[in-house]
Structure 1
Amino acid sequence: MAHPPAIELAPGAWRIPTVGSAQVNSFAFVDDDGSVTLVDTGLTSAPPRIVAGLAAMGKHPSDVTRIVLTHAHPDHGGGAAEMARQTGAPVAVHSDDVPYAEQGRSPRQDRSTPAGRVFARLPGGRFPPVPVGESLTDGQVLDVAGGVRVVATPGHSPGHISLLHATTRLLITGDAIFNVLGVRLSPRPLCSDYRMCRRTAHVLAELDYELVGFTHGPEIRHGGREAIRSYLARTVDADTPE
């Protein structure tokens, strides 16, 4: 069965699956004037699926006026250069990930464990470099769909962000938290600083939301905050490795 090219999460907020039904997701916010803000752009192979998702929403690449990356990894920024070319929209990234987006490479991975050192030696982590038009900061509220707040959640990458849309009580976690075989933190070898990732994930427990969109895994439509709070409460102290 074919997967829907776009799934409406709330009025004006959509998930666009770019790998499988929810293995890798992009998101889109639609403003009252019809303009679109795209969040994450998947792998380099993702743009056709993003364009199909936009079409399912009744939108065209020309409607996209901003592209926001939660962080500079190939499965989130791989399609950014192509989508920027098709849309003419500027790309926005947290200031600490700007150099990586512009160089088209992932930040160095956490080498504090043997698995991390192995992952760090593997080829990959490259994607088409993309000029960054806007450098984001923690707490910044983007003029998008009534206001989208930038929430710094570094650790998965130095400048990793999550996004909170207060109007619909929607949280987009980026890779701070996955929903793959249940709610969980990013695997340690994929992080630039796993201990920091564990600490900053707890920021998400204190925000006000109901609906959660994950860039890896399906959304939680009801009780999302409680699901994340419950998971974080079950983990050991943020400074202690699992």
Structure 2
Amino acid sequence: MNRVIPLQVSFGSIDNLIFPVILNDDSEMVLIDCGYIGSFELIKKAAMEVKVDLSKLTKIIITHHDHDHIGALGEFKKSYPNVKVISSFNEEKYISGREKSLRLQQAERIFKDIPDDKKEEALKFHEMLQAVKPVEVDICVKDKDTFDCCGGIEIIETPGHMPGHISVYLKESKTLVTGDAMVAESGKLCIANPQYTLDIEEARKSIEKFLQYDIEKIICYHGGICTERIKESIEQIVSK
């Protein structure tokens, strides 16, 4: 039996509500994105509440290297050392720590323009990004790569929010897991916050690729599940 299970995980406040996704079948269990630093136990608890035993985890797909998507990756790898970490080729160097996080580079670049009374808060953000533990990536993927497990998994390259961002299409259930390519706000699909999207026009072009797929459900890491007016909503985002 193949299952797609979005986990609802609250990290401190409603603003930090995230939706990692579990995929499983008789032989594989895959987690898509894994939360902030310190969210390992929260994700584990959320999984237990839906009767998912994370000790059976075999793979973790990382959509991109933002801290809220990879913060707990080091703890997952420590607890489940045999799990295989998957990312795009372009994201691997940041996840492994071989190059400085693009989000940290962005934060450092704009620091001089931040008002003095906000600089202390900004520096704490820098420290949080620097605290993310590097983890080696086991499998690098590119556009259209597939995995023959959990009903069929297809990788979609969706650069824009980050240059190496990927989304995941689940063939059997016709479900799209967007990472941060799109977010849901009150059930409405939107492009991710432009403030944190490194190339907004490229992000829009990436979203246009979703029109090629037969999608009945979308799971956004920020905002959760959308099932209504999917094609129309995507077309509206692309046309703006």
> Which TM class, normalised by the smaller chain length?
0.7 to 0.9
CA shift digits 1:156-202 (9 cap, x unpaired) = 11110011011001001110111125321112221222221122121
For the pair 1:107 / 2:98, whether they are aligned, the reply is: no
Give the gaps of 5 or more residues in structure 1: 1-9, 236-242
Contact kept, 8 Å, 1:109 with 1:116, in 2: the verdict is no
Q: Which residue of 1 aligns with 2:8?
A: 17
For the pair 1:195 / 2:201, whether they are aligned, the reply is: yes
Higher helix share: 2
Query: Which residue of the other structure, out of 27, 32, 36, is the alignment partner of 1:39?
Result: 32
**C-alpha spacing 1:226/1:87, structure 2 compared with 1 (3 Å):** farther
CA shift digits 1:2-55 (9 cap, x unpaired) = xxxxxxxx960011122256832110101133x310000010122112111221
Which amino acid is 1:143 matched to?
D
Q: Which residue of 1 aligns with 2:80?
A: 87
Give the gaps of 5 or more residues in structure 2: none
Map 1:213-232 onto structure 2 (within 5 A): 213-232=219-238
TM-score by length of 1: 0.81
Contact kept, 8 Å, 1:116 with 1:190, in 2: the verdict is no
For the pair 1:156 / 2:161, whether they are aligned, the reply is: yes
Q: Which residue of 2 aligns with 1:55?
A: 48
Q: Distance in 1 between matches of 2:208 and 2:110?
A: 24
Partner SS for 2:210? helix
Q: Distance in 1 between matches of 2:93 and 2:158?
A: 18
Q: Distance in 2 between matches of 1:116 and 1:213?
A: 33
Contact kept, 8 Å, 2:184 with 2:220, in 1: the verdict is yes
Contact kept, 8 Å, 2:205 with 2:238, in 1: the verdict is no
Contact kept, 8 Å, 2:18 with 2:224, in 1: the verdict is no
Q: Which residue of 1 aligns with 2:182?
A: 177
Which amino acid is 1:204 matched to?
F
Contact kept, 8 Å, 1:110 with 1:191, in 2: the verdict is no
- What is the CA-CA distance between 1:212 and the residue it aligns to? 0.4
TM-score by length of 2: 0.82
RMSD: 2.7
Identity rate, percent: 22
Tell me the matched-pair count.
221
CA shift digits 1:185-224 (9 cap, x unpaired) = 1122212222211221211222211100000002113443
Q: Which residue of 2 aligns with 1:210?
A: 216
**C-alpha spacing 1:108/1:218, structure 2 compared with 1 (3 Å):** closer
Q: Distance in 2 between matches of 1:118 and 1:61?
A: 43
**C-alpha spacing 1:159/1:70, structure 2 compared with 1 (3 Å):** same
Partner SS for 1:184? strand
Q: Which residue of 2 aligns with 1:145?
A: 150
